[in-house]
Chains A and B, each alone.
Chain A
Amino acid sequence: MNSSHASALNRRQFLRRTATALAAPLLVPASVLGRGGTVAPNSRIVFAAIGVGNRAKAILPNFLGFSELQFTAVADCRAERLRQAKELVDAHYGNGDCRAYGDFREALALPGVDAVFIATGNRWHGMGSIYAARAGKDIYSEKPITLTIAEGRALAETCRRCGVVYQAGTQRRATESYRFAADLVWQGKIGRVHTVEMQVWTGPGIPHGPAQAVPAGWNYDLWLGQVPWRPFVATRVNNWQYFWDTAEGVLTDMGCHYTDQMQWVLRRDGTGPTEFETRAEFPDPSKFCSDTPITAEVRCRYADGVVGVMYQRRGFADRYIRYIGDEGWVQVDDETDEVTAEPKSLLSLKRAGGASWANASAHIRNLIDSIRSRRPTECNPEIAHRAITICQAWTISLRLGRPLRWDPVAERFDLAEANRMLAREARAPYRV
């Protein structure tokens, strides 16, 4: 008998009959796949990594930890990053076999590649995923998964049409602390949830900078992708997260993790809020060229009255999500992975340990299982699209300076101008 039994009892008992007991597919051990517990090379899922900058460097080791998948190609429009990524993959496998492509479309054309890991800048997450789906590749894409609401709808439809499996990189659904908070809500431990409070950090202002020559080894046209052409400005390009063309700022970058959590915990994965209201402080245009908020307070309301409010304020380490019910609350602090609650007695149900959000292995495991079984992933494109739609609706509301009503079935606003912002015409030759 294992001595860990006693300590796990309360937790296991607590979780015993959660509604999610069967929601997530059970894991299929490798042995059941005809490999006798070992992974035969011809059964491995072959991956290519697309966009191999800082984010990829953080997550690739999680992928490489799985012996049942293998990376055989990397792609990046920046030569130095491409070289480093090839070295990383080759070092892991102890060979020099990883192929490197300056244009990801060449990697997609490889018939031996089954799946892709996309960790480009935001502007390529959705479009790159759509290209991959059309090429018949299964997908793990970093978030935010799309630039526009229409691109998200197109992504979900393309994945369905092309019969591919897709996992969005909103990995907190597989994180112990967040699952615990979800369990408390689902078990009714804090009563009926009426408010979800979220906080992300204060955004920067990016100073003006002059146009300059594109640095050597950088395919700027491919880097831009669908984004309308603009001259190369180092401050802008290196801080692309804070420009509406290429991203949507902190509210969406981190916010989409929280809207994903909100949708999941409130069990609204197939729908969304119906009202959006926003206010924000933008950078001083005389000093800064970035156009996403520095601070903000944005709200949404579901049809049944549940309110989501996201604050963009304070420091990076101060981010959290809190579910407030009529009998208590539970909060997850993202920086520390710490769960707090009221009443405090709820915390006695929490098991110590568990991987933090920084480790995406469980989320990748879910993708691998779905690639084998063809079942939907935990963050499939429909779910991920609905979650980021909330952030994108906030952005549209901010840019139009007015509250908006949203029909989550028709996916239309109550305002013509807002509906004209659902999509952005992609720069040729790229298209969704």
Chain B
Amino acid sequence: MNSPSLPLLGLLSFCLLAPPRADAEPAALSADLAQTITAAAAYDSGQDMSPLRHLEDLARAAIADPAQRPALEAGLTQLISGDATFEAKRFACQYLGILGSAECVPALAKLLANDTTTGMACLALEPNPAPTAGEALCQALVAARGLSQVQIINALGNRREAPAAAPLARLTQSADVEVATAAIAALGKIGDEPARHTLATLPKPTDPRLQAALTDAILRTAEQLVARGDAKAAARIYTGMLAPTQPPNLRRGALRALLALDRDGGEQRILKVLRAADPVLSPVAIAAMGRVSTPGAAGRFARTLPALPAAEQVWMIEALAQRPEADARAALQAQLTATDTPVRRAAIRALGARGGVEAVAPLLTTLGRATDDAEYREVEAALAGLAGDQATDLALIDRAPALPEDKRGYVFFALAERGSRPALPLLLGASESANPAVVQPALRALTTLATPADAGAVLAKLVELKAPAARVDAEDATRLVLLKVPDPAARSALVCRTLGALPAGSIEARCSLLQLLPACGDQQALDALTPASADADARVRDAATRALADWPTLAAWEALRHIYEQPDSPAHRALALRALVRLQGEANAQPSPGLIDRYQQLLAGARDDGDYKLVLGALGAATQPEALPLATGLLARSSIRAEAAQAVRRIAEAVRATNPQAAEAALEQLK
């Protein structure tokens, strides 16, 4: 280490010799304050903290009323000067740190000299604005050792105590590594010319801890140079840190700092880094591209893209996507043909986020070229995200038919996501295709875009369906569109009218329309459906029975009961029974005389244990006392006794409050 210069020696002497001042007499304490100080002085862990909290109240009052401050400060000073406990002194130091003035410094200086109290003294002295606080720390620095010395050094650094630079310079050579690193760090915080000089001329430390502290301190001084407007000096420091011999993280930090200093926003430096293919610095350069606003920068960045590794290409594509220039969009578009899959997909996503109508054609070309579902979906999401609203919609509508049939669906979904009403004719037209790969997505997209006014048109497409494999999907889609019509009667009228207009022999279409009737749910729909369950054509009977089994209300009870009791097939009987049990289960919530009658009908029609168990499942949830005999009546059948007993228990629990005797009697039968 170089010897301190003469001016520094002068400052050092000042630190060593100048005693903290204590000019004024301490303020007198009120009786209340004196009593509180006395009580607080005895505080230790585990005791009542009221005296300390009272002092906090007094501190708040003193901050609001500066006239009260001298007395409180005197009281707190008294607390740290006497025989108070460690905890009490520590408390006082905390508050002297908030409101202490030069008055308390002499007392705090005494605490600095004691290793057990140095820490609490620094707690109070570091934020104290009085110059004497810094002087006291300087003075204590020389005699202190070990952690006390480190504590004082830290406080001086945090105060940016310029006069301490000279003694700190000497301590950078301490044999105690903690002391030396603390001194280096403090000089970095002080950061004035003498401190910088000391740091710049220190011999290169051999201890890595010292080296790390020195580097950090020098970088701190660079920040201060920037703040003071000396960018050139700061840049010299940062440039030195860019060397490949420096740790990667510091190189990155230095590059970021240099980019912030560059007058062109860092454009030339970014280009230089990218051309140098430095894997440590390139990501930082790419991440900083967004800061550059010089005209044409996007194009110049983009020209470096092909030479970058794949990962960096992805990051650059994402960075270019943040830029508004046409050059950026063109570069993104060019990457749609990249052979590297992640790069290509990044370009697809980026174009979707930044592109408009001009991106429709290249994205559709990419879709046409794509060979896997993940990429199809990337394109679909990109198309959905394109700006340009109607013009983009129209471009998509215009070009979709030119795509291979199995890929048009992704455009249909994109149009649906865009909320593109003009796409309706395209989708309705597509639903006439014989290819289910076209029909299914077209109809599903329609479920999003269609309004109640379109329900008739969609219904017509179901009738005209040319792709048998798409029929189930088509029925589902049509049902969703139909449900957008708010009035059940209007829904029903629409379906019934279409049914009535069917040419003879349109069995498939008739079956599909019958399946829609439960979504209408009114009497007109039921009247249309019920006769069909006895139709001469087995396919119609089957469709009608399944539709009846889906009926949402008890209105279908009789029709379903008829099938249950006089079925044309075991399958239809099973469907009817399940539907009847479902309806009963739903009706349990609203007890009525009819409910019990219907259970009796179900039990009367039961043919085997399976039927009984099904009925008992619903019956057990009944809450009417009249349900109990129906369940107990089945206890005698050994093959279903467990289910009957379960039902009895549930019903009995439900009716116990209102019919305790009936409940108890039923439960008695279980014993």
Which A residues lie at the B interface, using CB under 8 A? Answer: 1, 5-6, 9-10, 12-13, 16-17, 21-22, 25-26, 28-29, 31-34, 134-136, 157, 160-164, 208-211, 228-231, 233, 236, 282, 285-286, 288-289, 372-376, 399-402, 415-417, 420-421, 423-429, 431
A16 and B384 contact, Cβ closer than 8 Å, known pairs A425-B126, A428-B150, A431-B182: yes
Beyond the given A236-B45, A424-B123, could you list 4 further A-B residue pairs with CB under 8 A, ordered by the A residue number? A1-B444, A230-B45, A372-B283, A423-B158
A228 and B123 contact, Cβ closer than 8 Å, known pairs A16-B417, A285-B48, A400-B60: yes
A420 touching B97, Cβ below 8 Å: yes
Which B residues lie at the A interface, using CB under 8 A? Answer: 44-50, 52-53, 56, 60, 63-64, 86-87, 90, 94, 97-99, 118-120, 122-123, 126-127, 129, 147-148, 150-151, 154-155, 157-158, 178, 182, 185, 212, 216, 219-220, 223, 247-257, 283-284, 286-287, 309-311, 314-315, 318, 321-322, 340-343, 346, 349-350, 353-354, 381, 384-385, 387, 409, 413, 416-419, 437, 440-441, 444, 447-448, 480
B353's partner among A6, A21, A161, A426 (CB-CB below 8 A) is A21
CB neighbours (8 Å) of A31 from chain B are 341-342
CB neighbours (8 Å) of A29 from chain B are 342
A5 touching B154, Cβ below 8 Å: no
Nearest CB in chain B: distance from A212 CB, A:
9
- List 7 A-B residue pairs with CB atoms under 8 Å apart, sorted by A's residue number: A6-B444, A9-B448, A10-B448, A16-B417, A26-B318, A285-B50, A289-B45
* Nearest 10 pairs of A and B residues by beta carbon: A163-B253, A163-B252, A32-B342, A428-B151, A401-B60, A285-B49, A136-B249, A374-B283, A210-B46, A420-B127
B311's partner among A228, A282, A372, A426 (CB-CB below 8 A) is A372
CB neighbours (8 Å) of B90 from chain A are 228, 230
Complex CA–CA separation, A428 to B156 (angstroms): 13
Complex CA–CA separation, A246 to B151 (angstroms): 19
Nearest chain-A residue to B349 (Cβ)? Answer: A26
CB neighbours (8 Å) of A376 from chain B are 287
B50 touching A286, Cβ below 8 Å: yes
CB neighbours (8 Å) of A10 from chain B are 448
B60 touching A161, Cβ below 8 Å: no
B120 touching A228, Cβ below 8 Å: yes
CB neighbours (8 Å) of A22 from chain B are 318, 321-322, 353-354
Nearest CB in chain A: distance from B338 CB, A:
11
Complex CA–CA separation, A400 to B185 (angstroms): 32
Nearest CB in chain B: distance from A175 CB, A:
22
B385 touching A425, Cβ below 8 Å: no
B250 touching A163, Cβ below 8 Å: yes
Nearest CB in chain B: distance from A309 CB, A:
22
Number of A-B contacts (CB under 8 A): 208
A5's partner among B343, B419, B444 (CB-CB below 8 A) is B444
A429 touching B150, Cβ below 8 Å: yes
A160 touching B127, Cβ below 8 Å: no
A33 and B63 contact, Cβ closer than 8 Å, known pairs A372-B283, A425-B126, A431-B154: no
Complex CA–CA separation, A157 to B189 (angstroms): 12
Complex CA–CA separation, A22 to B319 (angstroms): 9
CB neighbours (8 Å) of B154 from chain A are 425-426, 428, 431
A211 and B418 contact, Cβ closer than 8 Å, known pairs A420-B97, A425-B155: no
CB neighbours (8 Å) of B119 from chain A are 228-229, 425, 427-428
Nearest chain-A residue to B413 (Cβ)? Answer: A5
Nearest CB in chain A: distance from B627 CB, A:
37
Complex CA–CA separation, A147 to B282 (angstroms): 35
Complex CA–CA separation, A136 to B385 (angstroms): 39
CB neighbours (8 Å) of B448 from chain A are 6, 9-10
Nearest chain-B residue to A245 (Cβ)? Answer: B94
Nearest CB in chain B: distance from A430 CB, A:
8
B46's partner among A163, A233, A285, A375 (CB-CB below 8 A) is A233
Complex CA–CA separation, A9 to B412 (angstroms): 12
Nearest CB in chain A: distance from B530 CB, A:
32
A427's partner among B97, B99, B151, B283 (CB-CB below 8 A) is B151
B250's partner among A17, A136, A421 (CB-CB below 8 A) is A136
CB neighbours (8 Å) of B122 from chain A are 425
A210 and B45 contact, Cβ closer than 8 Å, known pairs A9-B417, A134-B216, A402-B64: yes
Nearest chain-B residue to A288 (Cβ)? Answer: B49
Nearest CB in chain B: distance from A43 CB, A:
11
Nearest CB in chain B: distance from A256 CB, A:
23
A160 touching B256, Cβ below 8 Å: yes
B45 touching A286, Cβ below 8 Å: no
CB neighbours (8 Å) of B126 from chain A are 423, 425
Nearest chain-A residue to B120 (Cβ)? Answer: A228
Nearest CB in chain B: distance from A272 CB, A:
21
B60 touching A431, Cβ below 8 Å: no
CB neighbours (8 Å) of B354 from chain A are 22
B251 touching A163, Cβ below 8 Å: yes
Nearest chain-B residue to A290 (Cβ)? Answer: B49
Complex CA–CA separation, A424 to B354 (angstroms): 47
Nearest chain-B residue to A212 (Cβ)? Answer: B45
CB neighbours (8 Å) of A134 from chain B are 212, 216
CB neighbours (8 Å) of A21 from chain B are 353, 385
A285 touching B52, Cβ below 8 Å: yes
B249 touching A211, Cβ below 8 Å: no
Nearest chain-B residue to A287 (Cβ)? Answer: B48
A373 touching B252, Cβ below 8 Å: no
CB neighbours (8 Å) of A229 from chain B are 119
B418 touching A16, Cβ below 8 Å: yes
CB neighbours (8 Å) of A428 from chain B are 118-119, 147-148, 150-151, 154, 178, 182
A9 touching B416, Cβ below 8 Å: yes
A25 touching B150, Cβ below 8 Å: no
Complex CA–CA separation, A289 to B129 (angstroms): 31
B53's partner among A285, A416, A420, A424 (CB-CB below 8 A) is A285
CB neighbours (8 Å) of A400 from chain B are 60, 63, 98
Nearest CB in chain A: distance from B100 CB, A:
9
Complex CA–CA separation, A364 to B657 (angstroms): 55
Nearest CB in chain B: distance from A150 CB, A:
9
CB neighbours (8 Å) of B254 from chain A are 163
Complex CA–CA separation, A73 to B87 (angstroms): 37
